[in-house]
Structure 1
Amino acid sequence: MIMDLEPQKIIKLDESVVNRIAAGEIVQAPVNCVKELVENCIDAKAKHIQIILKMGGLKSIQILDNGCGILKENLPILCERFTTSKLKNYEDLQQIGTYGFRGEALSSISMISRLTLQTKTRDEILAYKVKYDNGNMIGNPMPCAGNQGTSITIEDLFYNVPIRQKTLKSSFDEFAKIFDCIAKYAVHNYKISFTLKKHGENNSIKTQISESPIDIVRVIYGNEVANSLLKVQAGDENLKFKMEGCISNANYSGKKGQFLLFINHRLVESKNLKKAIFDDLYRTVLPNTVQPFIYMSIEIDPRNVDVNVSPTKHEVSFLNEDLIVENIKKEVEAVLLKTNETRKMYTQQLLPGAANIIFETSFKEKDKIYAKDMIRTDPKSQSIIKFLNQSTESQNVSQIVQSSPESRKMQKKQIESTRLSSIKELISDVETNCNDNLKEQLRNLKFVGNVNRSKSLIQCENILYLCDNCRLGWELFYQLSLKYFENFDVFEFEDPLDIKELAMIGFNLDECSWNEEDGPKENLSDQVAKILLERKEMLQEYFSITITDKGLESLPIIIPDYAPVFGHLPMFIVRLAADVNYDDEKECFKNICSELATFYSKWSLKESNEKEFDYLMEHVIFPKIQAQLQPPKKFVDDETFLKLTSLQELYKVFERC
């Protein structure tokens, strides 16, 4: 083959092509869009900023503020490239104190979406509404009623860049990125109120104007994080910088780390600073399974900072970086050492004289309990077998998890309250659907024994029930999956399990009901692996289901001393990919919790002898049912609990109980 060595003619790209290429560099996902517009709101001195999203920003983004507004005379050139009110010459860049300065954000957004803007300044009587396309204003500004400030609506993001649309993740993942971004800006800009919500749903973030960033941390990240925070400061006149912030103490036990870094009020990343503090310093203080929470606001002489390093402005370069990092690390270490010396260790001791307490009860004639009504078992009493057999029965059950080749390490985590409204709604649904009378009876249940692997006998007050273990188990694991959302203990596999192999096994099972119309099993297995890998961050963060290129590395522990039947793992993997609606957040979480419940509640085929199974049900499963299950109303009618007899009825037959 003869190669064509003729030189090609160089041509100048059309301006529309140049603009679209530039737009792709600045706006790579909905979160970039939101970030740029929120920064514009802050530059406009807004005190209230509201963000409303459809489909994680893929369908529409609406941002409203009460800032100074935009002059009508500036509207025609608003979305043109390099139009800005922040700079007049290059030298101004050395002292820039605002977020925006290049005049590219609105231009880039208008190149890849349909942009509508409404704005009103303090001195104008009316607001003006206008639309933009490819950086150009369409028609003339239309007067309309409106409040002071600006409202920008972006629709059909990347409608003219189909390849970018295909590379974006699900609406849930995109919303999670925006949530994280707004949470960080809200903490730093605590004197501005922020609201973030999905269209037609409750607020996901809602903050008020506050006096401290810790107040905002409490609202967004929870009390446990806020209560652990210590204020920290650093600075050096020679290096021309100062730092203020708050860091989690040595007693903090959160599993999800956060590093909020603002340099000259810009949300940025610094690999050197993060490594020095987040990775190196805290590793000497916290266990490997715990990640710290760090918020820092660093102010450096603008003349020593280059903010024009990247199109997205998420990186900055500054003079004396190594010295500044070392200075900050030293101050953080000093604060941490003080709390490390007073680290809390919790123990439980027997109170003096506790063994000598005598409970006295006075009985009156009207309190007399007749033989036919007497309940001879106390649900609060604990069988001595539970304690005597801990060295045998409990160990055997634990070995199903700990000593099996599948499991290597169990990690204990402290429960943190979730911030996501969708999970709160699902938990509320469970509480609303709970039968309170049945719940009260279950709190007083006494386990009698197993009839077989799927049926057990329990006594609630003076009634003997035959209960359906499968239905009870599914509901228990579903509710616990919601409760421990983001807070699961985990057990890790010694060697990762290949997702494609698991899926292939699943498709070969009769339970799967595969047929030729579904396509080749190999292709379907590839699809399963692809779907789960694309959602690996969400699955790991919220459910402790760790999936990497190597395979399945961990699963959640929902009840201590209990592991699921791993023979059902292949179908769990298939259903996790095929039966979960990943496009809707609430449905996604509900579906995953349902699949976990199905997988974990299939103990009827558990490979254990009867003695081990009896111990598992009596001392592991049913205590959880007694203490935590909120029985749904359907349990009253679907024979989950089947009344067999009562003490009164038995007394009629035997004249004794």
Structure 2
Amino acid sequence: MALPGKIKKLDQVVVNRIAAGEIIQKPANALKELIENSLDAKASDIQITVKDGGLKLLQIQDNGTGILKEDLEIVCERFTTSKLSSFADLHSLSTYGFRGEALASISHVAQLTITTKTAQDKVAHRVSYVDGKLKAPPKALAGNQGTTITIENLFYNVPQRRKALDNISEQFTGITEVVTRYAVHNSSVAFTLKKQGENSPYVRTPSKSDRVDTIKLLFGQAVARELIEVTLEDSVYKFKLQALITNPNYSNKKLVFLLFINHRLVESTLIKKMLDDLYSIYLPKKTHPWCYISLEIDPNNVDVNVHPTKSQVKFLHEEAIVERVKEALDGKLSSNNASRTFYAQARLPQVDLSREALGQVLPDLTTGSNENKDKGKVQASKMVRTDHQAQKLEKFNFTVSLEKSLDQQLDGEVETDPVEEVKPKEPDIVSKPAERALKTVQKLFGFQEPTREAKEAKAPLPENRIIELKLTPAPPEIPETPEIPPEQTPEFSVTVPEQTSECVRLESVEEEKESAATFKSYSVNSYRRPVELTSILRLRKRVEDSYHGGLRKILSGMIFIGCIDEKLVLFQSDVDLYICKVKNLAEELFYEIMLYDFANYGVLKFSSALSLVELAKLGLKKKSSKSSMEQFAEQVKDLLVSKSEMLKEYFAIVITKNGYIKSLPVLLEDYYPDVAGELPNFVVRLATEVDWNEEQKCFEDISRETARFYSNVDFNKDWRHSIEYTLFPAVKESLLPPKEFAHDSSILKIASLPDLYKVFERC
């Protein structure tokens, strides 16, 4: 018959190690306890250093209040704390720590060193502990205010636990999760986490930061931009709710849930189940949200002493509080469930790795193949299906109603200089420096010397083609917005000048340009003068050297489908469907026209000259006070008048000596910019955004600003017709798209016929 075992009291060392194993289960638990100690010490900067997942080294440094020298002897003994003096204090607890077991438990399973300094101490003190006892008296040394706790060789005396935690990567992931969660909740505290020996931190947040900014920094823009803020204060159950949850636009394969109750990082299966049930209505199956929830409950209703690691708490009216939280979250989610946002990414042309393409460089690949028999046959999924009778987007009532208020007018009757003929000046004799510059350009770009006939021709250049824009005069009151009323519909008259012997035929210029560039001239003049300015030639070459060949190929095969609205257009190229931004393409097109038709523009002439001062006032209306606006408007006028000769000679922008603008260049025939709405801004930007000191930069800035102005379509006219039949044919024919268009969403591929064929199995 077996005898009962004798009951005996366990050795204190065994007791302490058992308790330590319950409280400190892994490095992340130890770090959580230490972070809470630092926050209790009012730290504003917490730095954490880790080696081998925290098993070899785990160090935390803060700038808190520090530990008194006389307390260092007992700080690592069990049940020693500065936060609690009686059991009743648990009901009004406002700190993280209360048991006094964290440091004691760590000292029983690791080698612990504490360095601390208070504001009153002149020096810092360092001390080491083993099994809760001092190894030696405190040692004085230089140091900053705060506490540094170093844990080395965690679980060195518990080999079974150490072996179970040998996955270093998993332990470091657990540490990172703890740091990021506390960093989100305590966004006013700076957190830094890095591995020993590495300079770049894995986690770094600034102090005094906004919680949403911290979330954006730690979890990314995809989470931050979809956050909904939820707040609730309930006087019946005595709790406050602060939450940041993602709306139905966001979903993830794994639930990310940050729960703080009375500022403690805890877990709650009840709240987690509530979130799963709630989001199952809004999200697809097997997808989850990102949620941060902070509950502040009356401390008298919370029991914090229910789990060794403090990862769980119990509180009164738990189910009722969770239900109230669910109602608050559901109300916000339902109000944000009316639409979905999809973020598109530009898709560039793919490399052609078909058998036919490879056969061009590897002839043996297709030799003897049976596939050659069907070489001329096009697969149904790759057949380009367009014809001249194709229906347009407008056929399906895909229209956008657009209203634009143009109820204000420019200033009224003005006195101008005697009417001037809008002609380019007769070219001056080329100076010696200009000759040297020309030779340099010829060496750089390989341009040919002018022909003998061109050298001998001395007759003056022809007049530019003139298109007259008639505007009815307006009352002399300055409007509140820089716009002209829609009833001022421009009337146009066109005159074509006679031919002179100095002109070079447009056909020959195009042929010459075709060998150097693929951009076509859009000058409305029948004849043009050659441009040999080094600065313009360099700007042209920059365009030619930096355009995106793949996008150029897409645009050259473009088939216009229709306008979604005034900003977006759909077009087909080969077997792909694209969406593009009208303004981006138009601005780049007009910039290139400004360069390639430099000094050869037609002239858009106003029937009444417009005052630069009044235009500048309109452009500055919302940016300056009245007194400064008057002064600045005069400065704008004076500057542009001083540059009037150059603007007239090269850009067909005619400005009179007494400060009136009479004409603009014609960049595309039958295309007119939004003069009423954008001319005031153009005048101001022409004076403020152009570098007038350096030739090439000056020409580039003027061209850019003019292109920006012309890219604003006049919506008082038939803008859909203008975009489809005037603007986009030029884009298709000539635009050299810059490489930036490949990644700035100017052109996006949204569908592909082969991809659609896989889904529908028919076209």
TM-score by length of 1: 0.54
In structure 2, relative to structure 1, the CA distance for the partners of 1:362 and 1:214 (3 Å cut) is farther
Instruction: Report SS of the residue matched to 1:210.
Output: coil
Q: Does 1:173 align with 2:320?
A: no
- Asked if 2 retains the 8 angstrom alpha-carbon contact of 1:50 and 1:194, the reply is yes
Q: For 1:190, which of 187, 190, 194 is the aligned residue?
A: 187
Following superposition of structure 1 onto structure 2, how do residues 604-643 of structure 1 map, counting pairs within 5 Å? none
| Structure 1 position 350, deviation (Å) | 8.6
User: Residue deviations 1:419-467, cap 9 Å, x none?
Assistant: xxxxxxxxxxxxxxxxxxxxxxxxxxxxxxxxxxxxxxxxxxxxxxxxx
User: Residue deviations 1:71-115, cap 9 Å, x none?
Assistant: 000000010000001111111111111111000000000000001
Flag structure 1 segments of 5+ consecutive residues without an equivalent: 354-359, 371-377, 391-559, 562-614, 621-657
Instruction: Report SS of the residue matched to 1:262.
Output: strand
Q: Partners of 1:28 and 1:126 in 2: how far apart?
A: 35
Equivalent residue number for residue 515 of structure 2: 368
- Asked if 2 retains the 8 angstrom alpha-carbon contact of 1:107 and 1:134, the reply is yes
Q: Partners of 1:144 and 1:97 in 2: how far apart?
A: 33
Q: For 2:225, which of 220, 224, 227 is the aligned residue?
A: 227
In structure 2, relative to structure 1, the CA distance for the partners of 1:304 and 1:14 (3 Å cut) is same
In structure 2, relative to structure 1, the CA distance for the partners of 1:346 and 1:163 (3 Å cut) is closer
Q: Partners of 1:87 and 1:78 in 2: how far apart?
A: 14
Q: Partners of 2:393 and 2:74 in 1: how far apart?
A: 77
Q: Does 1:112 align with 2:259?
A: no
| Structure 1 position 345, deviation (Å) | 6.0
| Structure 1 position 293, deviation (Å) | 0.8
Q: For 2:152, which of 151, 155, 164 is the aligned residue?
A: 155
User: Residue deviations 1:391-411, cap 9 Å, x none?
Assistant: xxxxxxxxxxxxxxxxxxxxx
In structure 2, relative to structure 1, the CA distance for the partners of 1:113 and 1:347 (3 Å cut) is closer
| Structure 1 position 212, deviation (Å) | 2.8
Following superposition of structure 1 onto structure 2, how do residues 497-576 of structure 1 map, counting pairs within 5 Å? none
- Asked if 2 retains the 8 angstrom alpha-carbon contact of 1:210 and 1:216, the reply is no
Instruction: Report SS of the residue matched to 2:105.
Output: helix
Q: Partners of 1:261 and 1:196 in 2: how far apart?
A: 21
Instruction: In structure 2, give the amino acid aligned to 1:246.
Output: L
Instruction: Report SS of the residue matched to 2:72.
Output: helix
Instruction: Report SS of the residue matched to 1:77.
Output: coil
How many residue pairs get aligned? The number is: 380
User: Residue deviations 1:243-299, cap 9 Å, x none?
Assistant: 11111011113444211000000000111111112x100111011243211101100
In structure 2, relative to structure 1, the CA distance for the partners of 1:368 and 1:96 (3 Å cut) is same
Instruction: Report SS of the residue matched to 1:50.
Output: strand
Q: Partners of 1:362 and 1:317 in 2: how far apart?
A: 86
| Structure 1 position 213, deviation (Å) | 1.4
Instruction: Report SS of the residue matched to 1:291.
Output: coil
| Structure 1 position 367, deviation (Å) | 4.1
Q: Partners of 1:197 and 1:61 in 2: how far apart?
A: 10
Q: For 1:200, which of 197, 200, 204 is the aligned residue?
A: 197
Instruction: In structure 2, give the amino acid aligned to 1:171.
Output: I
Equivalent residue number for residue 237 of structure 2: 239
Q: For 1:250, which of 245, 248, 251 is the aligned residue?
A: 248
Q: Partners of 1:364 and 1:62 in 2: how far apart?
A: 74
In structure 2, relative to structure 1, the CA distance for the partners of 1:72 and 1:369 (3 Å cut) is closer
Equivalent residue number for residue 474 of structure 2: none
Q: Partners of 1:206 and 1:350 in 2: how far apart?
A: 53
Q: Partners of 1:361 and 1:301 in 2: how far apart?
A: 88
Instruction: Report SS of the residue matched to 1:158.
Output: coil
Q: Partners of 1:89 and 1:347 in 2: how far apart?
A: 60
Equivalent residue number for residue 33 of structure 2: 36
- Asked if 2 retains the 8 angstrom alpha-carbon contact of 1:99 and 1:266, the reply is yes
Q: Partners of 2:118 and 2:166 in 1: how far apart?
A: 38
Structure (1 or 2) with the larger CA radius of gyration? 2
Instruction: In structure 2, give the amino acid aligned to 1:224.
Output: A
In structure 2, relative to structure 1, the CA distance for the partners of 1:363 and 1:176 (3 Å cut) is farther
Equivalent residue number for residue 139 of structure 2: 142
Q: Partners of 2:3 and 2:248 in 1: how far apart?
A: 67
In structure 2, relative to structure 1, the CA distance for the partners of 1:128 and 1:351 (3 Å cut) is farther
In structure 2, relative to structure 1, the CA distance for the partners of 1:266 and 1:347 (3 Å cut) is closer
Q: Partners of 1:310 and 1:39 in 2: how far apart?
A: 16
Equivalent residue number for residue 59 of structure 2: 62
Q: For 2:341, which of 340, 344, 347 is the aligned residue?
A: 344
Instruction: In structure 1, give the amino acid aligned to 2:37.
Output: N
Following superposition of structure 1 onto structure 2, how do residues 437-456 of structure 1 map, counting pairs within 5 Å? none
Instruction: In structure 1, give the amino acid aligned to 2:216.
Output: R
Instruction: Report SS of the residue matched to 1:203.
Output: coil
Following superposition of structure 1 onto structure 2, how do residues 16-415 of structure 1 map, counting pairs within 5 Å? 16-201=13-198, 202-277=200-275, 279-344=276-341, 363=510, 365-368=512-515, 381=553
| Structure 1 position 366, deviation (Å) | 4.9
Q: Partners of 1:345 and 1:26 in 2: how far apart?
A: 46
In structure 2, relative to structure 1, the CA distance for the partners of 1:361 and 1:102 (3 Å cut) is farther
Q: Which has the higher helix share?
A: 1
In structure 2, relative to structure 1, the CA distance for the partners of 1:130 and 1:286 (3 Å cut) is same
Q: Partners of 1:326 and 1:288 in 2: how far apart?
A: 23
Q: Partners of 2:257 and 2:55 in 1: how far apart?
A: 27
Instruction: In structure 2, give the amino acid aligned to 1:292.
Output: P
- Asked if 2 retains the 8 angstrom alpha-carbon contact of 1:235 and 1:327, the reply is no
Q: Partners of 1:128 and 1:389 in 2: how far apart?
A: 71
In structure 2, relative to structure 1, the CA distance for the partners of 1:369 and 1:79 (3 Å cut) is same
Instruction: Report SS of the residue matched to 1:191.
Output: coil
CA RMSD of aligned residues (A): 3.3
| Structure 1 position 171, deviation (Å) | 1.2
In structure 2, relative to structure 1, the CA distance for the partners of 1:165 and 1:362 (3 Å cut) is farther
Instruction: In structure 2, give the amino acid aligned to 1:131.
Output: S
| Structure 1 position 387, deviation (Å) | 7.4
Q: Partners of 1:244 and 1:347 in 2: how far apart?
A: 32
In structure 2, relative to structure 1, the CA distance for the partners of 1:367 and 1:185 (3 Å cut) is same
User: Residue deviations 1:48-89, cap 9 Å, x none?
Assistant: 000000111011011000000000000000100000011111
In structure 2, relative to structure 1, the CA distance for the partners of 1:284 and 1:19 (3 Å cut) is same
Equivalent residue number for residue 442 of structure 2: none
In structure 2, relative to structure 1, the CA distance for the partners of 1:146 and 1:389 (3 Å cut) is closer
User: Residue deviations 1:311-364, cap 9 Å, x none?
Assistant: 0000000000000000000000000001102333689999879xxxxxx99835
User: Residue deviations 1:572-598, cap 9 Å, x none?
Assistant: xxxxxxxxxxxxxxxxxxxxxxxxxxx
Q: Does 1:5 align with 2:152?
A: no
Q: Partners of 1:153 and 1:121 in 2: how far apart?
A: 18
Following superposition of structure 1 onto structure 2, how do residues 415-430 of structure 1 map, counting pairs within 5 Å? none
Q: Partners of 2:68 and 2:224 in 1: how far apart?
A: 41
Identity %: 49
User: Residue deviations 1:485-513, cap 9 Å, x none?
Assistant: xxxxxxxxxxxxxxxxxxxxxxxxxxxxx
Instruction: In structure 2, give the amino acid aligned to 1:79.
Output: C
Q: Partners of 1:330 and 1:368 in 2: how far apart?
A: 71
- Asked if 2 retains the 8 angstrom alpha-carbon contact of 1:225 and 1:254, the reply is no
Q: Partners of 1:276 and 1:74 in 2: how far apart?
A: 45
Q: Partners of 2:214 and 2:32 in 1: how far apart?
A: 19
Equivalent residue number for residue 446 of structure 1: none
